[in-house]
A = this chain, B = another copy of it.
Amino acid sequence: MTRLTIRIDLARNAAFGPGKARLLELIDKTGSIRAAATAMDMSYRRAWLLVQDIEAIIGEPALERRTGGANGGGASLTKRGRTWLERYRSIEKRATRAVANQLHALTRMAAGAPPKADKIFPRRSKRRNS
């Protein structure tokens, strides 16, 4: 099924998209940055840097960290981290709903349907008769 993914560019070099959202969700689920990094097939260092990016964007800690331990310490989302994530998902859902018909038409076009069969995109051609 065709799916819409969004990236939000808040400022130059401050983007929040599917990768960071997924990382927060996995940290929330596993309670560990390391476990989340492994699940996403990335290094602990890369996950840690992404968390730094996220916190720079949010302007506050996104995680509460418990340092030490064999697994590199535990982590859970702060209230603000969770609120941010939920809002991102909310925006994604609303955007997806808003363009559902267009996504369907694009999917049909990808499957070989001629573009003219779709009536849900604005017409480009100018009318000759007014």
Contact = CB atoms under 8 A, between A and B. Distances in A.
B109 A99 contact: no
A94 to B, nearest CB: 5
A115 B90 CA distance: 14
Contacts of A95: 4, 6, 95-96, 98-99
Say whether chain A's binding surface is mostly helix, strand, loop, or mixed. helix
Contacts of A59: 110-112
A69 interface: no
Interface residues of A, number: 44
A56 to B, nearest CB: 9
Interface string A83-124: 110111011001111110011011101111001000001101
Contacts of A102: 87, 90-91, 94
Interface of A: 2-11, 14-15, 17-18, 57-59, 80, 83-84, 86-88, 90-91, 94-99, 102-103, 105-107, 109-112, 115, 121-122, 124
